[in-house]
Amino acid sequence: MFLAKVEGSVVSTKKDPSMSGRKLLILRPQLVDDKDPTKFKAGSNTIVAVDTLGAGIGELVMFCQGSSARLAGGMKDAPVDAVIIGIVDVVDVLGKQIYNAKT
């Protein structure tokens, strides 16, 4: 599992039939900064993921990739590589809260 910030969405009118009706979001992975572990740093890549929970732009989410993504509910027969599996409320690192969705 990985953490990422939702940065945008993707609309595709022509796609594999098993992907019909699925919301696609653009994610930027968030890494704990090795120089200051009380902060995140943005990853350099972006990922398109299927949203199974109703996440929105700007939210911090948990996602999985690869064969694990197809284990998410309703994804068994879908050609997916990344699925959002959680919307994050709080992240604590080394006893310090580095993210809180309410603030």
Confidence at residue 67, expressed as pLDDT on a 0 to 100 scale: 81
Confidence of residue 30 (pLDDT cuts 50, 70, 90): very high
Q: What φ, ψ does residue 78 adopt, rounded to 5°?
A: -95, 145
Per-residue confidence (pLDDT) for residue 47, from 0 to 100:
97
Name the residue ranges covered by the structural domains of the chain: 2-100
Tokens of 7: 């940065």
> What pLDDT is recorded for position 35?
94
What distance in Å separates the CA atoms of residue 65 and residue 52, rounded to the nearest whole number?
14
Query: pLDDT, tens digit, for every residue of 45-88?
Result: 999 999 999 999 999 999 999 888 887 878 788 889 999 999 99
CATH of domain 2-100: 2.40.50.220
What predicted TM-score, i.e. pTM, was given to this entire model?
0.91
Q: Which long-range contacts (CB under 8 A, 24 or more apart) does 94-102 make?
A: 94/37, 94/38, 96/38, 98/32, 98/38, 98/39, 98/40, 99/40, 99/60, 101/59, 101/60
